[in-house]
Structure formats: C-alpha cells, structure tokens
C-alpha cells in the first residue's frame, strides 16, 4: 500500500490467533530488521522484504517473563531487552547471544539514543530494592565484538519519582512522565531534575506520552490532544501541535522531521516543526480483519516506524485469540519525495525538501534544486525558477540545457544539448535530470512533448496577438526574456559551464528581442564567444551595425569590423556616432590595426566629423608625411594636427617644415 510523498505504510504481517502477544518492538537503523518482544519471553527477529513483508529469521527465548521493552542499537550491533520483573538483557544483534546487564534493583523503563560518532547511550530507570524513589543510570554501550558491555556515564537520584514512563532523549537530556506530570532530567550535565508541568485533570483522558525527535534535537509530550515540543534546555519551542480530529490515538512515532500519528483507521504524517499534516494513509484496507481495538506497541527511528496493533485490548481474555496486525511505515527517500511532489504540482514542498538537503550537504540536493527550477519555469514562474537554478552547480545542471527553449534560433546547438542531457541524466540522486525526461509528468505552458521542450514562442512586437501561442502571452514572454538575460549573464561565468558560445549567442538574441541596443553593444564589446554568423543577419536587419562591428572586433575579425563600422558611419543618428567612436577606439590599438589600416580608414573617419578624426591623429603616432598628404589644406583638422605636433613634442616638433606648415595654415 503506497502512500504519496513522505511515507509508505505496509501491512507487514498478520499475526495469527493464538500466537503470543507482542509486548515490545524495535527497528534497526537501516530499516531492514524488525525485532518483536513477546509475552512468553521470546524474542523474534524478522527481516524486512519487498513491500515491507516480514520474514522470521531467528527466535530467542530469554525467560518466562514478557519482554516489555526493546532497543536495537545498530552502531554497536546490540539489542537491549527489558522484561517484566525488571531484568535487563544485552544481546549480540548478530548471534542473539545474551548476557544480563547488572544493575542494582529493578529496571522500570529504558530509553536509548544513537548519534553518529558517539557511543550509544542507554538510560535505565531502576529502583533499588526497598527504595521508594528510583535512580537513573546512563550507560555507554560498547560494540558486541569488543567483548565488553559498556561503562556507566552518569547516575542520579530521582526523588519523588517511583514509576517513570515513556522516557525520551532530548539531546543529552531526558524527559519522562511520572504519574500525571512531566519531568526533565539532565544526568550528563550536573544531574539536575525539575518538573516541566502537570497534566490538568480535564486532559487526563489521554495518558501522558513522550516521543523523541532526534533529527530536531527535540521531544514531543502530550497534553490531552495537544503536542508540546521540548528543546534540550527543557523549554517549550514553537507552536503547539494540535492532534484534535485525527481520531483515537494508538501511538506516536518520531521519524526524522515527522511525527506519525497512528489511529485505528489511518496514519497521519505531520511536519514536526509546523504541525502541518502532509500525508494521510488509510489502514483499514491493509487490515481487512480489523485491528481496531486496544493499545498498540510501536517503535521508531529515522529508518521508519513499526506498529503492532492488537485486535483486542492487551490483558483482556480475547487478546491471545484475536491476534494482531503489524504495520511498517517507511520514509520515502528525499530524492523520490522531490520527484513525487513535482509530479503532483507541489513545487514549494519540493523546494523545501531540496533546500534542507542542500543545507546538510547531501549530494542529491543539487539534482532536486535543478528539477524544482525547471518545474517553476514550466509554470511560467521565471524569476523564481531561475533563482533556484542559480544555486545549482554545473555538474548537476548545465545552463546551456535551457537553450532548447529557443529551438529555432539555437538549432545549431541542439545536438550538443542532447549530449549534455546524457551527461546530467539522473536515475540516481547524484545526477540531475532523472531517468525520465526533465519534463516527464509535469504540466507545461511550454507544451513539452515527445520527451523534450518545444520551447517558448518568439517574442513579438505586440501587433499580432495571434503570435502569442501555446498559452504564454506576450507579457509573460517579455517577463521570461527579462528574467533569462541576467541569468545567462551569470551562467556564462559559472565554473564548469559548457556551450558558452551558445549562451553568448542567445544573450544577443534575447537583447535583440527586448530592443536593448545599448546593452547589446556593451555586451559585444566584452570578450565573448557569440557565433557571429548566427546573429549577423538579425543585427543587420535591426540596423545595429555598430553592435555587429564591435562583435567582429571582439572576435578578432578586425577588417570586417572596420568595414561594418564604415557602413554604419555613413548613416545618421546615434548608431553612426557609436560606430565611428568604436572604429576610432579600434584604430587606436596598434595590436589590432597596423598603420596601413589606420591610414586607410582615415578618410571615412574624417567624413564623420573633425573630432573623431583628430582624436585618431593625436592619440596614435602615424607617419606625418602620409597624414599631411591625406589632410586637405585649410581644413580644421590639418592645422590642429600641426599644432599638436609642435606643442606635444616628439620627433616632428623640431622639424622646420612642420613649423612652416603650421604658420601657413594659421596665416591662410
């Protein structure tokens, strides 16, 4: 029975009538083994198979007393079993070889905690014989292969607490119930003990319960149908979690960042930090026999949760004959959650999941962010989608893969994009596009078909409204283009970005779409890899010869650039002035233009006005005799050029012929 999104819940086992009643359960950290403690003192180990099925792998009889508490400590391959009467047994999880755990008095309750890189902690609440109050001992357990049990990390008295129940770790502290009140103990930090709060009489219809949330370093305690989150300092945090309306509560499980609320009819999955119910799974279909009565046995860790639901109340005469149903709830991997969320149109939820993975440095998160960004683009949420893609490294998603949105203009790059798709195709969470095409199963105003995108309509000038096709209006198209331009400007600088010639070419096309002539000219002037043949026809049709000339110069085609500038300079307007100024800048660079090119261009530069011509002559050293031969006598450029030679030094400053020529110009 598959649940959408966060968890899958399986009808793992139907325990037949007459079988010993299950009194406790435990789940290993990988979620591959489930252990059940039985009323007859036996321990069963089950392997989890496909679709959550349980297969009995081993059985161990620990004694005549029921096993009422069970912990699976995978990091040290240990099992801890608590039996009625207070005996505590430590088992090797591999061989089930057992040995008693020596403690003074009677063990009443236990609570285990595993953290990466630390020895697991076992908290044992026990009461010395003859004492009215109990003690709390914290043990650090050693690996089974070490041959040692462990060592005592802390001990403290618990005055006034005779029978603690439902203990849960909160960081390095513990919370537990004592009658109708909750207490907070810090055995590893000075041994302090304090009362948190009492359960009001009007809320006593719900027994006190506490469940740990190690992923949040918190625990949840119940006050009636309200859950209160407690932090490691013993203070309530965040908003209260309302459990009202979910039905009769059978058990609570803390798995990762979620709180599982088990009722006879369903499993409700809540986000522990917000209380929002993100998933509801019916249990009736999984259990047609009807596990509807009685209190349930449960166990949980970050690998999932197991619930053993008896068909009659424990301790009743019908309990043994009624049997029980075992349910197994398994968290859906975050990567699959992201894909499933997007398939159901929940981009925000997918973004939250991916952002959490990103914050933890998890490898799949880059793939998740890429898919979220693409989904937002399909929803015409261009600015949001590109902001997400900004966070994705090139190994996970190549910005050039978006060139397919303009297939007509970027047709030359489509074969390369197919290769990029293969390089970043992800059946694994380490890659980005997934085993399916990037648009599989996702609604798209871009009309994704055949495993690829047909692309955005071309941005028109607004006079032909029918050209705004495929459900994307012209206003949206302009918004898209205005969002894509800065994204591609950023993307071309990203480490590992490929197909930069395609990106730069598209930038120019988009700037032309927007009519951004100044921005196009500025971009053409910086080092870029734009493909000149791809953009030249459009630049010429728009009359942007100065931009084309600059692009030719930037790409090293200087003679062609000067020819384009010359044609542009022959026109009127701002474009002609920009072309002339750009040409002079190019001619002033000896590395780009030799003397012959500069002298050849001088006549048409002078034809545009004396200022650009004089700028060329006064800032670049050219043969004086050849320059004077090209300058008409009596012109305003000639005498200014001669004055420049006389007053600005250089070899010509002392030549008598230069002084004479200047005098004649001034007298004439």
Is residue 653, in this structure, part of any structural domain at all? yes
Could you give the count of Cα atoms lying within 13 Å of 187 in the half-sphere of its Cβ?
23
> Which pLDDT band, with edges at 50, 70 and 90, does 585 fall under?
confident
Are the C-beta atoms of residues 507 and 489 closer than 8 Å to each other? yes
Instruction: Please give the pLDDT value at position 654.
Output: 53
Average pLDDT over residues 467-484: 70
What's the rounded Cα separation, in Å, for the pair 347 and 379?
A: 10
What tens digit of pLDDT does each residue of 197-210 get? 999 999 988 889 99
**Which of residues 332, 360, 394 is at a domain's end?**
332
**Which of residues 313, 332, 351 is at a domain's end?**
332
Least confident span in 22-31, 447-456, 470-479? 447-456
Average pLDDT over residues 533-562: 88
Q: Residue 13: is its pLDDT beyond 80?
A: yes
Least confident span in 134-148, 505-519, 558-572? 558-572
Q: Pick the residue with more confidence: 445 or 112?
A: 112
What's the rounded Cα separation, in Å, for the pair 606 and 632?
A: 11
Which residue(s) pair with 79 in the sheet? Answer: 72, 91
Q: Which residues, other chains included, contact 45 with Cβ-Cβ below 8 Å and sequence gap of 6+?
A: 33, 34, 35, 56, 57, 58, 59, 60, 96
Are the C-beta atoms of residues 317 and 8 closer than 8 Å to each other? no
| DSSP characters over 341-391 | HHHTT-HHHHHHHHHHHHHTT-THHHHHHHHHHHHHHHTT-HHHHHHHHTT
Is residue 57, in this structure, part of any structural domain at all? yes
Is residue 410, in this structure, part of any structural domain at all? no
82: CATH: 2.130.10.10
Q: Residue 640: is its pLDDT beyond 90?
A: no
> Which pLDDT band, with edges at 50, 70 and 90, does 628 fall under?
confident
Instruction: Please give the pLDDT value at position 119.
Output: 92
| DSSP characters over 157-221 | EETT-SSEEEEEEETTEEEEEETTEEEEEETTTT-EEEEEEEPPGGGTTS---EEEEGGGTEEEE
Closest CA to 226 of 270, 162, 281, 278: 270
Q: Pick the residue with more confidence: 404 or 429?
A: 404
Structure letter (DSSP) for residue 283: S
Instruction: Please give the pLDDT value at position 582.
Output: 82
Q: Pick the residue with more confidence: 579 or 507?
A: 507
Q: What is the mean pLDDT of the chain?
A: 84
What tens digit of pLDDT does each residue of 230-255 get? 999 999 999 999 998 888 888 999 99
Are the C-beta atoms of residues 139 and 124 closer than 8 Å to each other? yes
**Which of residues 332, 357, 372 is at a domain's end?**
332
Least confident span in 15-19, 275-279, 449-453, 641-645? 449-453
Instruction: Please give the pLDDT value at position 97.
Output: 92
Is residue 155, in this structure, part of any structural domain at all? yes
What's the rounded Cα separation, in Å, for the pair 396 and 475?
A: 31
Residue with structure tokens 């009743």? 316
Long-range contacts of 306-314 (CB under 8 A, 24+ apart): 306/12, 306/25, 306/27, 306/34, 307/250, 307/251, 307/253, 307/262, 308/15, 308/22, 308/25, 308/36, 309/250, 309/262, 309/264, 309/283, 310/21, 310/22, 314/21, 314/23
| DSSP characters over 396-461 | T--GGGGGGGSTTTTGGGHHHHHHHHHHT--SSTTSSS-SS-TTTT---TT--BTTB---PPPP--
Q: Residue 461: is its pLDDT beyond 50?
A: no
| DSSP characters over 511-550 | HHHHT-HHHHHHHHHS-----HHHHHHHHHHHT-HHHHHH
Average pLDDT over residues 629-656: 69
Instruction: Please give the pLDDT value at position 477.
Output: 81
Q: Residue 330: is its pLDDT beyond 80?
A: yes
Q: Residue 106: is its pLDDT beyond 50?
A: yes
151 three-state secondary structure: strand
Is residue 392, in this structure, part of any structural domain at all? no
Q: Pick the residue with more confidence: 138 or 644?
A: 138
Closest CA to 501 of 399, 584, 585, 586: 399
Pairing of strands 22-27, 33-38: antiparallel
b/e sequence 72-85, b meaning 16+ C-beta within 10 Å: bbbebbbbbbbbee
Instruction: Please give the pLDDT value at position 33.
Output: 96
Average pLDDT over residues 34-49: 96
Average pLDDT over residues 302-310: 92
What six digits make up the tokens of 558?
Answer: 């200087």
> Which pLDDT band, with edges at 50, 70 and 90, does 293 fall under?
very low
Is residue 374, in this structure, part of any structural domain at all? no
> Which pLDDT band, with edges at 50, 70 and 90, does 434 fall under?
very low
Instruction: Please give the pLDDT value at position 657.
Output: 66
- In whole angstroms, what separates CA 40 from the centre of its chain? 48
Total residues found in the chain within this entry:
668
Is residue 73, in this structure, part of any structural domain at all? yes
Q: Residue 627: is its pLDDT beyond 80?
A: no
Percent of the chain with pLDDT over 90: 49
What six digits make up the tokens of 613?
Answer: 């011509």
Percent of the chain with pLDDT over 70: 84
> Which pLDDT band, with edges at 50, 70 and 90, does 372 fall under?
very high
Number of domains present in the structure of the chain: 2
Is residue 396, in this structure, part of any structural domain at all? no
Q: Residue 533: is its pLDDT beyond 70?
A: yes
- Tell me the residue range of the domain where 227 lies: 7-332
Q: Which residues, other chains included, contact 66 with Cβ-Cβ below 8 Å and sequence gap of 6+?
A: 23, 37, 38, 39, 40, 41, 83, 84
What's the rounded Cα separation, in Å, for the pair 172 and 352?
A: 28
Average pLDDT over residues 68-81: 95
> Which pLDDT band, with edges at 50, 70 and 90, does 102 fall under?
confident
Q: Residue 221: is its pLDDT beyond 60?
A: yes
> Which pLDDT band, with edges at 50, 70 and 90, does 284 fall under?
low
79 three-state secondary structure: strand
Rg over CA atoms, the chain: 39
Q: Pick the residue with more confidence: 334 or 504?
A: 504
Out of 50-59, 544-553, 555-564, give the one with best mean pLDDT.
Answer: 50-59
Average pLDDT over residues 263-273: 90
């Amino acid at each position: 029975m598959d649940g959408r999104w966060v968890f899958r819940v399986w009808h793992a086992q139907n325990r037949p009538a007459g079988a010993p009643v299950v009194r406790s359960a435990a789940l290993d950290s990988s979620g591959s083994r489930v252990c059940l403690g039985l009323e007859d003192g036996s321990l069963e180990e089950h392997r989890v198979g496909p679709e959550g099925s349980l297969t009995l792998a081993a059985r161990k009889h620990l004694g005549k007393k029921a096993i009422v508490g069970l912990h699976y400590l995978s990091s040290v391959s240990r099992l801890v079993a608590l039996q009625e009467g207070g005996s505590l047994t430590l088992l090797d999880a591999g061989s089930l070889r057992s040995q008693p755990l020596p403690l003074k008095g009677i063990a009443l309750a236990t609570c285990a905690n595993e953290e990466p890189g630390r020895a697991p902690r076992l908290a044992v609440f026990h009461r010395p014989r003859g004492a009215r109050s109990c003690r709390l001992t914290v043990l650090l357990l050693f690996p089974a292969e070490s041959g040692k049990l462990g060592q005592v990390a802390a001990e403290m008295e618990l005055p006034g607490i005779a029978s603690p129940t439902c203990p849960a770790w909160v960081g390095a502290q513990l919370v537990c119930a004592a009658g109708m009140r909750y207490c907070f103990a810090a055995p590893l930090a000075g041994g302090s003990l304090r009362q948190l709060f009492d359960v009001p009489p009007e809320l006593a219809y719900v027994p006190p319960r506490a469940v740990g949330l190690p992923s949040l370093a918190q625990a949840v305690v119940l006050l009636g149908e309200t859950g209160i989150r407690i932090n490691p300092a013993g203070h309530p945090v965040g908003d209260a979690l309302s459990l009202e309306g979910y039905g009769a509560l059978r058990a609570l499980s803390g798995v990762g960042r979620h709180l599982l609320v088990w009722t006879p009819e369903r499993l409700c999955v809540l986000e522990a930090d917000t209380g929002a119910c993100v998933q509801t799974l019916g249990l009736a279909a999984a259990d047609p026999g009807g596990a509807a009565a009685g209190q349930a046995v449960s166990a949980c860790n970050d690998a999932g949760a197991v619930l053993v639901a008896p068909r009659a109340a424990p301790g009743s005469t019908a309990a043994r004959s009624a049997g029980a149903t075992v349910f197994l709830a398994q968290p859906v991997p975050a990567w699959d959650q992201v894909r499933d969320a997007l398939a159901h149109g929940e981009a925000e939820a997918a973004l939250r999941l991916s952002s959490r993975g990103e914050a933890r440095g998890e490898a799949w998160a880059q793939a998740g962010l890429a898919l979220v960004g693409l989904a937002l683009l399909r929803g015409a949420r261009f600015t949001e989608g590109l902001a997400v893609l900004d966070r994705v490294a090139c190994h996970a998603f190549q910005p050039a893969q978006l060139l397919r949105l303009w297939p007509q203009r970027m047709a030359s790059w489509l074969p390369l994009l197919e290769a990029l798709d293969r390089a970043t195709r992800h059946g694994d969470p380490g890659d980005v596009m997934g085993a399916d095409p990037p648009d599989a199963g996702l609604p798209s105003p871009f009309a994704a078909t055949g495993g690829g995108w047909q692309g955005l309509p071309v941005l028109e000038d607004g006079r032909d409204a029918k050209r705004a096709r495929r459900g994307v209006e012209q206003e949206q198209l302009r918004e898209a283009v205005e969002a894509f331009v800065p994204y591609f400007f950023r993307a071309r600088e990203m480490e590992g970005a490929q197909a930069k010639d395609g990106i730069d070419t598209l930038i120019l096309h988009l700037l032309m779409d927007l009519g951004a002539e100044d921005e196009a000219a500025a971009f053409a002037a910086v080092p870029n890899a734009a493909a000149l043949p791809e953009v030249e026809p459009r630049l010429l049709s728009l009359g942007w010869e100065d931009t084309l000339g600059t692009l030719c110069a930037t790409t090293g085609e200087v003679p062609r650039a000067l020819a384009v500038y010359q044609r542009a300079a022959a026109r009127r307007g701002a474009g002609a002035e920009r072309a002339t100024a750009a040409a002079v800048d190019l001619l002033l660079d000896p590395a780009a233009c030799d003397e012959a090119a500069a002298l050849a261009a001088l006549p048409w530069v002078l034809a545009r006005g004396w200022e650009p011509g004089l700028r060329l002559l006064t800032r670049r050293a050219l043969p004086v005799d050849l320059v004077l031969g090209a300058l008409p006598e009596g012109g305003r450029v000639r005498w200014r050029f001669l004055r420049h030679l006389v007053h600005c030094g250089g070899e010509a400053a002392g030549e008598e012929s230069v002084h004479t020529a200047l005098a004649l110009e001034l007298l004439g």
